Amino acid sequence: MRLSGGEIDRSQTLRFTFDGRAYTGHPGDTLASALLANDVRLMGRSFKYHRPRGVFSAGSEEPNALVTLRGGARAEPNTRATAVELFEGLEARSQNAWPSLAFDALAVNDLMANFLTAGFYYKTFMWPRAFWERLYEPMIRKAAGLGRLSMAADPDAYDKGFLHCDLLVIGAGAAGLAAALTAARAGAQVILADEDARLGGRLLAESATLDGAPARDWVAGLEAEMASLPNLRLMRRTTVWGLFDHGVYGAVERVADHLPIPGAQVRQTLWRITARRAVLAAGATERHIPFRNNDRPGVMQAGALRAYANRFAVSPAQRVAIFTSQDDGHQTALDLIAKGVEIAAVIDSRAEARAMGEYRLIAGGQVCDSRGRLGLRAVQVRHGGGVEWLSCGALGVAGGWNPNLHLASHQRGRPRWDEAAQAFLPDTLPAGLAVAGAAAGQGETAAVMASGVAAALRALADLGLSGRAPALPITEARSLAGQSLWHVPGKGRAWVDFQNDVTVKDIKLAHQENMRPVEHLKRWTTLGMATDQGKTANVAALAVMAELTGQTIAATRTTIFRPPYTPVALSALGGGDSGAQFRPRRLTPSHAWAAAQGAVFVEVGQWMRAQWFPQPGETHWRHSVDREVLATRKGVGICDVTTLGKVDVQGADAAVFLDRLYANPMASLKVGMVRYGLMLREDGHAYDDGTCARLAEDHYVVTTTTAQAGPVYRHMEFARQCLWPELDVQLISTTEAWAQFAVAGPNARKLLERVVDGFDLSNAAFPFMACAQLTICGGLRARLFRISFSGELAYELAVPARFGAALMARLVAVGADLGATPYGTEALGVMRIEKGHVAGNELNGQTTAQMLGLGRMVSDKKDAIGAVMSRREGLVEEARVLVGLQPVNPGDPVVAGSHLFAQGAQQKTETDEGWITSACHSPHVGSSIGLGFLARGAERLGEVIVAANPLQGQQIALRVVPAHFVDPDGGRLRD
């Protein structure tokens, strides 16, 4: 029912639906308050027992009123109705109920409650084991779900950003406002963030005045000043949800969640805030007092009733009872009376309690049961030795307040129990963080504000700034005396954790079953898990456990909190990166040209590389690849190999440096020549291969594989900076600066002769493994390397990257009569397998130079990284070496990953003799071929072995052959 006053805008009416029924509300309402205004108390069903549930709180701690908000692809399950600002056209649906919220068939679970106790799943669904994944888990998930995903792609945009400040104030209630004002007036860079759309926090929920006027007036005055301060950033609708290392706070700003659709805006922004100091002023959460059947719609926090009455101008019922162990509970009665709500009684568990106004007080009483299937109708009160049923539509429960110290725990800080405050308070705090206000256990508004000011002044002093305490408003004194009452003893189920359906009985059972440490209690009962993270349950549960063990709460200790404080959408965490923008895409210089040719691309790390270039009439990728291979081996092929890493190495000690880095000698390399190089890891295994070109005495350019370009450069920098800082050597990556093309095939020289500017490419002048700096195409500076991956007469030609696309087009155009053919990575792979060159499949981090047939490259005349370790027994004794493999029946495939066995041998780990690393169809050989590591392979040439592929049930007879299928003598590349 709607009351008078409040912070809602009655001049506008907003229409919304809940479970298809139309309702109205006003700006300033939350979905929860608007539903209460429409006399809707039943808002959901509980997780396990499917019990009817209504709203329990007025804030982000809500355990019960979880709805699916919006529809279609925008449907978002488990949205707290208490934290949703009402907007025109809002659409919400209840969850976890079938066929309807009022009649839920799965409520049968509630009748089986004696079986569905804590640990029920663990005890029941044990055998047979195979059933868990296929039957039990899907069944349990279906029965006990909390909402359903839309399974459609999120249509909204998300953003991310970074903020830096001197002081981050988390929470814009009384303490946070005071802290932010103090720091901002002193000139500090301040961020004030609050999850609410309005500043003021609890001030808006209370009837207490500031300076004799409603608190909202004081807040409004402050907002005006704050808006004028350029060094203060106000972040409304922003939840600071995590504290991470080095004073970095995660925050989500709900930019457009209060709008029907975001339109041109992003929906949410994920902020990473680096704060030199922070004040946690997140307030406190009121705790309840478990009693039998305390989960009915209408039973809620007394403070929430007050918030609904004062801020939202609603009451869940005309007749309300209060159950309290605190003076604070009486305030709710007074505020409700002031709004015209009838108070059935205030039941105070303290015998000495006194009434603070005109209402019936039952001192020394306890609520011990309730009635009302879909909503509270009456509560049973035990007092004076008897029981009495009191009719009421809502019950406010006031059991004291728990400081919201979650963020103070995110760096593993464990709170301590404070007996005087009857609450957990922050203990050891993360560096730079202070806690103020109700989050620090303060209750009185004046004290709360003063603690905010004090925290800000301390932060300012730390930062070397001087500040002054601002004049604070005159507050009304209110009594906050109370006595803890952790639960009402008795039969039946008394809920501690509403969201996970954990009762006092469950905690007793956990205790009986020796799940007594709080960490065990939590996992056995699932208490404090799920979307509310037990904000309204944890402390009561600890208290019950303490009572059962006979220990104090301090000795029982508490679990700690982890981020996020409240649920964060995965899309927000993703920061909006999805689809093609999910990660950086690197395009080769000839990418646009290749795309125009209709190339098929493949992701190679971040790179997009042309895989093959289909021609008209080619219906299968093999047609294209076979053609590219044959055309290259017959005429000339061109491939963009820019992705290979390139590192410029200069300095007086460049030669010494490379000698130590590569297993084979590099200092002896002549200027103008290139050498194949192999790097080992420190442990002696092969790391990466590439080429090393000496452009001058003190200048080399080395290449790496595409995949290892980054890691090898890092490895080189580590060696330069940390291993041998005494060497005069300078490194810089030039991978991106130069576009590089492999030009391979018998016509390669002829083709290049058409583009170089008068450079002598004859074998005598520019032999195999030569390199030079030259110009091409009328003066463009270029680099030429006579190296071959394909086994053909081949070169690699490099030009500044901006000319790469033009060069590719030019080579194809001027080489048309020579058969110039662009080829992709697939043909590149086929040709290197045919030639027996190793690549990533062979350099997989588990192989050695000896296995690769490169053992003699590891020089024993000098030291290099990994050289000594490569000679250790375990590696030297490794018998598997690289061989070629060819099917006995030419029609059979060779499958990479297959394991190799002797013919007739039983196939098991002990008899495994190696594996196939690379395989392809070789148009040159006319069958599938492969490379692999085979035990004693060099001695077994000609032997027929078996390639076992148990995944596909294949057994294929292969002949062991040399690893060079084309030109084994290397005549072509030296031609």
Partner 1 sequence: MTDLNTLQLTATTALGGTLPQEARHGALRMAENSGLALASLTLRRGTTQPAPFGLALPGPGAWGQAGRHAALWMGPEQWLIEGEGLAETDFATALQGQCPGCSVTEQTDGFVAFEITSEAGEAPILALLARLVNIAPDRLRPGMGTRTGLEHMSVLVIRRAPDRLALLGLRSAAATLWHALTTAAARLG
Binding site for partner 1 (CB under 8 A): 159-164, 264-266, 272, 274, 577, 581, 583-589, 591-592, 606-607, 642, 648, 650-652, 728, 730, 732-739, 754-755, 777-781, 799-807, 810, 813-814
Question: Could you give the CA distance from residue 792 to residue 821 in angstroms, rounded to a whole number?
Answer: 14
Least distance (Å) between residue 418 CB and partner 1:
37
DSSP labels for 840-855? TTT-SSS--TTTTT-G
In this complex, which beta carbon is closest to partner 1, that of residue 776 or of residue 946?
A: 776
In this complex, which beta carbon is closest to partner 1, that of residue 307 or of residue 799?
A: 799
Least distance (Å) between residue 638 CB and partner 1:
15
In this complex, which beta carbon is closest to partner 1, that of residue 163 or of residue 338?
A: 163
In this complex, which beta carbon is closest to partner 1, that of residue 703 or of residue 848?
A: 703
Least distance (Å) between residue 748 CB and partner 1:
16
Our CA angle for 540, 546, 549, nearest 5°, is 145
Q: Which of 241, 215, 223 is nearest to 180 (CA)?
A: 223
DSSP labels for 771-816? EEEEEETTTEEEEEE---SSSSSEEEEEEEGGGHHHHHHHHHHHTG
**What is the end-to-end Cα distance of the chain in Å, rounded?**
95
In this complex, which beta carbon is closest to partner 1, that of residue 585 or of residue 936?
A: 585
In this complex, which beta carbon is closest to partner 1, that of residue 256 or of residue 347?
A: 256
Q: Give the contacts of 264 (CB within 8 A, at least 6 positions apart).
A: none
In this complex, which beta carbon is closest to partner 1, that of residue 115 or of residue 162?
A: 162
Least distance (Å) between residue 753 CB and partner 1:
9
List the structure tokens of 637: 């092929």
Q: Which amino acid is at 367?
A: V
In this complex, which beta carbon is closest to partner 1, that of residue 442 or of residue 643?
A: 643
Q: Give the contacts of 451 (CB within 8 A, at least 6 positions apart).
A: 175, 436, 437, 440, 442
Least distance (Å) between residue 936 CB and partner 1:
44
Least distance (Å) between residue 822 CB and partner 1:
17
CA distance readout (Å), 573 to 156, 250, 564: 13, 10, 11
In this complex, which beta carbon is closest to partner 1, that of residue 607 or of residue 901?
A: 607
Coil, helix or strand at residue 948: strand
Question: Could you give the CA distance from residue 557 to residue 497 in angstroms, rounded to a whole number?
Answer: 18
Coil, helix or strand at residue 295: coil
List the structure tokens of 545: 């456990």
Is the alpha carbon torsion for 398, 399, 401, 402 positive or negative? negative
Spatial contact of 576 and 102, defined as CB atoms under 8 Å apart: no
Least distance (Å) between residue 172 CB and partner 1:
21
Cα-to-chain-centroid distance, residue 85 = 27
Coil, helix or strand at residue 834: helix
- β-pair partners for 167: 190, 277
DSSP labels for 16-62? EEETTEEEEE-TT-BHHHHHHHTT--EEEE-TTT--EEE---SSTT-
Least distance (Å) between residue 270 CB and partner 1:
11
Least distance (Å) between residue 778 CB and partner 1:
5
Least distance (Å) between residue 813 CB and partner 1:
6
Coil, helix or strand at residue 323: strand
In this complex, which beta carbon is closest to partner 1, that of residue 266 or of residue 465?
A: 266
Least distance (Å) between residue 804 CB and partner 1:
8
- β-pair partners for 503: 495
In this complex, which beta carbon is closest to partner 1, that of residue 86 or of residue 805?
A: 805
Least distance (Å) between residue 272 CB and partner 1:
6
Least distance (Å) between residue 4 CB and partner 1:
41
In this complex, which beta carbon is closest to partner 1, that of residue 145 or of residue 598?
A: 598
Least distance (Å) between residue 69 CB and partner 1:
24
Least distance (Å) between residue 594 CB and partner 1:
11
Coil, helix or strand at residue 216: helix
In this complex, which beta carbon is closest to partner 1, that of residue 74 or of residue 586?
A: 586
Least distance (Å) between residue 266 CB and partner 1:
6
In this complex, which beta carbon is closest to partner 1, that of residue 777 or of residue 895?
A: 777
Cα-to-chain-centroid distance, residue 71 = 25
Is the alpha carbon torsion for 800, 801, 802, 808 positive or negative? positive
CA distance readout (Å), 235 to 30, 193, 269, 655, 752: 19, 5, 11, 57, 63
CA distance readout (Å), 313 to 6, 93, 714, 958: 5, 24, 63, 83
In this complex, which beta carbon is closest to partner 1, that of residue 694 or of residue 880?
A: 694
Our CA angle for 366, 368, 371, nearest 5°, is 130
Question: Could you give the CA distance from residue 374 to residue 787 in angstroms, rounded to a whole number?
Answer: 81
Least distance (Å) between residue 373 CB and partner 1:
50
Least distance (Å) between residue 800 CB and partner 1:
5
Cα-to-chain-centroid distance, residue 529 = 19
Q: Indicate the pairing of strand 607-612 with strand 600-604.
A: antiparallel
Q: Indicate the pairing of strand 699-704 with strand 645-650.
A: antiparallel
In this complex, which beta carbon is closest to partner 1, that of residue 112 or of residue 813?
A: 813
3-state secondary structure 912-932: CCEEEEEEEEECCCCEEEEEE
CA dihedral of 863, 869, 871, 877, whole degrees rounded to 10: -160
765 backbone dihedrals φ, ψ, rounded to 5°? -80, -30
Q: Give the contacts of 22 (CB within 8 A, at least 6 positions apart).
A: 15, 16
In this complex, which beta carbon is closest to partner 1, that of residue 254 or of residue 633?
A: 254
Question: Could you give the CA distance from residue 88 to residue 26 in angstroms, rounded to a whole number?
Answer: 9
Question: Could you give the CA distance from residue 738 to residue 783 in angstroms, rounded to a whole number?
Answer: 9
In this complex, which beta carbon is closest to partner 1, that of residue 458 or of residue 750?
A: 750
